[in-house]
Amino acid sequence: MTDLPEKSGFRCGYIAIVGRPNVGKSTLMNVLVGAKVSITSRKAQTTRHRITGIQTTDDAQFIYVDTPGFQTRHSNPLNRTLNRTVTDTLSASDVILFVTEAGTYGDPDQKVLDLIPEDVPTILVINKSDRVKDRAGLMQFAQKIAAKRNFAAIVPVSAKQRFQLSNLQEEVRKLLPENAPVFDQDDITDRSERFLAAEIVREKVFRFAGDELPYTSTVLIEKFEQEGALRRIFAAILVERDSHKAMIIGQKGARLKEISTQARLDMEKLFGGPVYLEIWVKVKSGWADNEAGLRAYGYE
Ligand SMILES: Nc1nc2c(ncn2[C@@H]2O[C@H](COP(=O)(O)OP(=O)(O)OP(=O)(O)O)[C@@H](O)[C@H]2O)c(=O)[nH]1
Ligand SMILES: [Mg+2]
């Protein structure tokens, strides 16, 4: 199912992006793919799903798979589900990007490295290298982690400043197996617009609501209709308590308005057309209390 001619020498494969929370995995995938398919925020645990971002060049198709940051702090049904997403993705990958943050490497990073199968080529990606001015220190840091595993390559990058990304891409390309492309040349993700819309609203909750709210809420798309170029989207933010609902709505509805406006603008950019967006806030306590419930809300 592709527009591309099948030429020999074409490479295609799945590239897992893994690491502890907040190292910049989703930011990295978005800049590699050139579109915002995965949501990002300065708070940890932003990503909650396996998200594919696809990039096709003349001689390769890169199927990146962004994953939730691996959780080592609390064990609860949601975190167990997130971690299972990480381990399932690892076992189905041709190449792995093990993402760390320049200058910090600890137990939560090591736990992720321990999960990575020895026989899958793995690149050590040291992200946020823009924060480090001391080049020699960065080298030493890289060497310290490099000693822990036989990495196929070690690449310091800055996803934010788009530094060293073509170098990283070239290292990945060399490791991809020879295969015909799986997706069409223009595809950027295998996720539906409905799913992406829910994620965009969730990102705005992460960005505009207080510290604890993002972790106790989720987003459901109740209706998604298309009428010509116009998409009409009805979303619900599910929260645990009445007090949370009030916090999301904000003074005279100001916060919800901000969330809606920013979400709509992102959707219009990603979908390439006008969006009518309505968001309701609903109290649904216990939505994350068990794994069956989580599946019902789209968590695998
Ligand atoms: N300075 C700097 N900040 C970055 C860079 N890459 C990402 N960030 C910031 O790091 C924060 C986390 O980025 P995300 O991409 O959401 O991180 P993540 O690893 O996907 O996080 P989880 O999904 O929560 O595990 C955001 O505030 C990003 O803007 C970078 O190269 N340099
Ligand atoms: Mg993420």
pLDDT digits (tens, 9 = 90+) for 47-82: 999 999 999 999 999 999 999 999 988 888 989 999
For the segment 182-192, the average pLDDT, to the nearest whole number, is 95
* Same domain? 221 vs 164: no
**Residue 7: pLDDT over 60:** no
Model confidence band, residue 4 (pLDDT cutoffs 50, 70, 90): low
Whether residue 120 is found in the same domain as residue 157: yes
- Do 50 and 142 belong to one domain? yes
Is residue 208 domain-shared with residue 105, that is, in the same domain? Answer: no
pLDDT for the residue numbered 211: 78
Do 169 and 197 lie in a common domain? no
Report the CATH number that the domain containing residue 247 is assigned in CATH: 3.30.300.20
Residues around ligand 2, an ion, CB closer than 5 A: 25-26, 46-47
Tell how strand 218-227 and strand 230-239 pair up: antiparallel
Q: Which one of 128, 143, 175 terminates a domain?
A: 175
* pLDDT above 60 (res 138): yes
Residue 184 has phi, psi (to 5 degrees) of: -65, 155
Per-residue tokens: 214: 């993002």
CB count, 10 Å around CB of 70? Answer: 20
Q: Whose CA is nearest to atom 3 of ligand 1?
A: 128
Does one domain contain both 16 and 152?
yes
Q: Which of 27, 129, 157 to mutate to test the pocket of ligand 1 (most atoms within 8 A of CB)?
A: 27
User: Is 6 contained in some domain?
Assistant: no
Count of structural domains within the chain: 2
pLDDT value of position 56 = 97
Asked if residue 5 has pLDDT above 60, the reply is no
> pLDDT by residue (tens digit) across 105-115?
999 999 999 99
Domain that holds residue 148: 11-175
pLDDT at 8 exceeding the cut of 90: no
pLDDT confidence of residue 212: 77
Closest to 69 in 3D by CA, of 92, 100, 95, 31: 100
Average pLDDT over residues 90-111: 96
Residue 43 and residue 96 share a domain:
yes
Q: Looking at 126, 144, 175, which one is the last position of a domain?
A: 175
Together in a domain, 206 and 284: yes
Spatial separation of the C-alpha atoms in residues 66 and 92, rounded to whole Å: 13
User: What pLDDT, on a 0 to 100 scale, did the predictor assign at position 299?
Assistant: 79
Q: Output the known binding site for GTP.
A: 19-26, 66-70, 127-130
**Does the residue 181 lie in any domain?**
no
Position in ligand 1 atom list of the atom nearest CA 47: 23
- Ligand 1 and 89: CB distance under 6 A: no
At 202-260, the pLDDT tens digits run 999 999 987 778 788 999 999 999 999 999 999 999 999 999 999 999 999 999 999 99
